[in-house]
């Protein structure tokens, strides 16, 4: 969807949250290699989105630039929304399916 809308230079896809954390640790000092936005699913195999948020919170101060994190989920549970709001670095809570209009707003 991001590629089709042609609003980004590069999209990186990771199927394992640990891979993302390792990548961010490795390139954290090089702002040009860091993403502008992370779209995070709460329901992932191995490491779920909650564990990712906890670990990202620990390494975030080492990043050479701010990264906007959006939780993208099929959950409409208010408890999940409240829990996400406890992470001050999360920019938004988005529910699936993601629409073109929402993506365009994120790109601004």
Q: Evaluate if residue 5 carries a pLDDT over 70.
A: no
Question: How many independent structural domains does the chain possess?
Answer: 1
| Residue 101: strand pairing partners | none
Q: What is the CATH number of the domain that holds 6?
A: 3.40.50.2300
Q: Evaluate if residue 26 carries a pLDDT over 80.
A: yes
The predicted-structure confidence for 31-82, as pLDDT tens digits, reads as follows 999 999 999 998 888 899 999 999 999 999 999 999 999 998 888 889 999 9
| Residue 92: strand pairing partners | 70
- The separation between the first and the last C-alpha atoms of the chain, rounded to the nearest angstrom, is 16
Instruction: Report d(CA 86, CA 74) in Å as an integer.
Output: 19
What is this structure's pTM? 0.86
Between 72 and 11, name the one with better pLDDT: 72
For residue 10, what are the domain limits?
2-107
């Amino acid at each position: 969807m991001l590629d089709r809308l042609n609003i980004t230079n590069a999209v990186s896809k990771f199927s394992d949250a640990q891979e993302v954390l390792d990548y961010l640790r490795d390139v954290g000092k090089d702002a040009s290699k860091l993403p502008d936005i992370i779209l995070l699913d709460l329901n992932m195999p191995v490491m779920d989105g909650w564990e990712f948020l906890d670990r990202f919170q620990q390494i975030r101060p080492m990043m050479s630039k701010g990264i906007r994190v959006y939780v993208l989920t099929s959950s409409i549970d208010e408890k999940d929304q409240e829990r996400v709001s406890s992470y001050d670095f999360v920019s938004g809570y988005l529910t699936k399916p993601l629409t073109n209009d929402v993506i365009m707003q994120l790109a601004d």
